Amino acid sequence: MGLTEVDLDALRRAVEWGKRYQKSEPQITLLPSPLPPEGTPQWVEVATRIAGMAQAATLGLRPWQAEPCNVLDDGVIDDACYGRRSIEVMLRRKLIVLGISIFEPDVPRAIEAAERAKAGCQSPYRSHSPRMSREL
């Protein structure tokens, strides 16, 4: 799968999320040191893993629920299978329709911003929800 500039931007923000998280929880190591050079296959692998962690945190997912970046959308829906459940596939498809990367670290905030922008609101990034305003 080729990465778009939107995907790369989301992956960069996911890495930044990982750095902030690691700083707030120093006993937990999320990122390798040194971090692979940006754009390399190793960096993409690390950034994708961190994007999944950020998505799980911002969406409040349970361990058995797949993050949008880990959903397999090949047309097969199976509500008994990780990464193929209807709700997981629907969320991934919603991101794509809204022009949001499947690697977006803060999915709720990105969806809110995209929907506000679509509705013609002047300030798409304003969030009144404390959960969606968190740094992590």
Give residue-wise pLDDT tens across range 71-102.
Answer: 999 999 999 999 999 999 999 999 999 999 99
Q: Do 52 and 72 meet the contact criterion of CB atoms below 8 Å apart?
A: no
Instruction: Name the residue with tokens 């995209």.
Output: 114
Give residue-wise pLDDT tens across range 14-73.
Answer: 999 999 999 999 999 989 999 999 999 999 999 999 999 999 999 999 999 999 999 999
Could you give the residue ranges of the DSSP H alpha helices within 4-105?
Answer: 5-24, 41-59, 86-97
Is the overall model pTM greater than 0.75, yes or no?
Answer: yes
What is the number of alpha carbons within 13 Å of residue 26 lying toward its C-beta?
A: 0
Q: Do 47 and 12 meet the contact criterion of CB atoms below 8 Å apart?
A: yes
Q: If we measure between CA atoms, which residue out of 92, 96, 84, 4 comes closest to residue 44?
A: 4
List, as one string, the DSSP characters of 86-114: HHHHHHHHHHHHTT--TT-S-HHHHHHHH
